[in-house]
Chain A
Amino acid sequence: MDRVVVLLSVLSVAASSQSILDQRRFSIAVSRVQHIHLLAQKYFSDFESSLQTEDQRQLNKIFLRDFCNSDDIISPIDKHETQRSSVLKLLSISSRLIECWEFSSRFVTWSTFPRNQISHKLSELKTGIRMLIEANQDGAEVFSDSSTFQLAPYGNFYQSLGGDESLKRNYELLACFKKDMHKVETYLTVAKCRLSPEANCTL
């Protein structure tokens, strides 16, 4: 009996410490993705302001036709879906998105955009999310999505043409990048709040 008690106490302590560690990691991940999202917003607005009016109109129209490169990644698009998803699912989706953009951000040909810096930040964030996944993975739930490495989302980049398309492509890339970063930020925040002890994510 004593042994059980001791074992339980040890486990609980370990779990609490793990949760504390998780919380800390989540906080770090959230803050990092927030920063990346701010950068994406900034670069997108800079790009838009650098365009001429006519180009802006065209791009607005174009936007509806093309896809974001990350559209193939199925992700919750409203609150209900998000809250229905498990933490692990949210984390995996976030990881996939980050990975996608880690690759795709290098295709932005706009000179002002710091490709390498962004890519580096994204890779670091990806590492952090993977750590969180490992920490929260029960082992039972295995994501088949994560195993399949789809190149198709990136396919349209290879189809891209030359200079005429560069403006359009940059616009697309920057817009989609901004949107996806906000997605990841939301997912991570929701997951973090769900895992917080009191489930009251007021901070």
Chain B
Amino acid sequence: MLRSATASRNLFTTGVSKRIAPAVLRFYSSLPLSVPVTLPNGTTYEQPTGLFINNEFVLPKQKKTFEVVSPSTEEEITHVYEAREEDIDVAVDAASKAFASEWSTSDPLVRARALIKLADLVEANAETLAYIESLDNGKSLQCSRGDVALTAAYFRSCAGWSDKITGSLPETGSSHFNYTRREPIGVCGQVIPWNFPLLMAAWKIGPVLATGCTTILKTAESTPLSALYLATLIKESGVPAGVVNIVSGFGKIAGEAIATHQKIKKVAFTGSTATGRHIMRAAANSNLKKVTLELGGKSPNIVFNDADVKRTVQNLVLGILYNTGEVCCAGSRIYIQEGIYDEVLAEFKAAAENVKIGNPFDEDVFMGAQASYAQLSKILKYIEIGKNEGATLVTGGARHGEKGFFVKPTIFADVKEDMQIVKEEIFGPVVTISKFSTVDEVIDLANDSEYGLAAGVHTENINTAIEVSNRLQAGTVWVNTYNDFHPMVPFGGYGQSGIGREMGAEALDNYLQVKAVRVGLQKAT
């Protein structure tokens, strides 16, 4: 996730762009702090380009910019300013000042009001945000609209949390009075990925606002636009200056500065397991900041003989093709019980081939483009690996069209468990299918992964559903559904899929720390 500039650089080496060399672009310095961008629906909006610090868009010290490319057309949308180490320092100062202000100690209703307003503003700007997201990330408008709705719903749910943070009162007898307070950790650093630019920002900012923390949020370099637009709404919602700071930048520079910063008390990261490991190390080496990670996955999606075929196939499609497979919890390993294998495979193939792929702005398109050239290349590389490993290509297996980073839905069958395409996260519309016979067998197969983010179970039998759900090593188990999120249901990983949970009551724990107060109630004798 935190790749450097290679995404945009690759564009030029492949010759698909007519533009000048990126090195020159990175030093472009007279970019206005806001540029008009015309969306495919004909409307024009003002896209902020600066760093959002202290409720203002500002220029970075070095005034470098980088380009933002639309994955569905490979054309440049705009440039945005890049945050570097010295800019992170400025943002941290702003966040520290904001944390020391009344923000973290005033009536929580102040925070609730801001969150309610923010939810209302996201809804009022829903179409603009959805179009920005599709333009910048390449996902279909259908998917973007879903993200925007979840964003508003999550902010509203967090509004309700802000005045429901409670400590406890351990009773230890009349000699003492004890209580615990759950206090905000302080200045947080948050680094988010490019697959759900807006929604991942919401999952991070929501609990920050609810708990009274402050933050510096770094967006992914390939998808900075929607979060900058969100920044304008955050300001409008009445969040005080410095509470939320949003910067565009690269992982190796801005991300690194956040993870190693001495004044940041907590870092939350969503992205690849490799980068997550690096963040944790950086946190340990700097100031032992608290770490929560939401990382990769290779989630099993298990179909039992008694499953309802029609509903299951819908969930298999949703599991791997939703958001063009760029979902950390994608159901990328399908296990089908032998009695139903042929039928489900045939139906699944037909359904996958039937999915509308193409221009993300067409109302009936479900699958848009992959988010970047780098991601396109990585997916195509894994498809080649799969072929070379001897898996049977059931459908897809190639790029879709000539322009734009589109990949056809790709199904590999007859895979072996030690194949790279079964073990490694591809993060695209590529799924492997295996056959199994018993519950014990499929549990072993499903759990044989370094990851443990999610899993799917498809069965009509209540005991199978409960037993398999209990035995799966995963932070989320979906039964007869998939990729199905709710603000009140926690999300996060087992194993190398992460630490901590987002959403639900659990998300607050990531941003709070417990203080125990023990008061002696005895007079000197």
A and B physically associate: no
Partner-B contacts on A (CB < 8 A): none
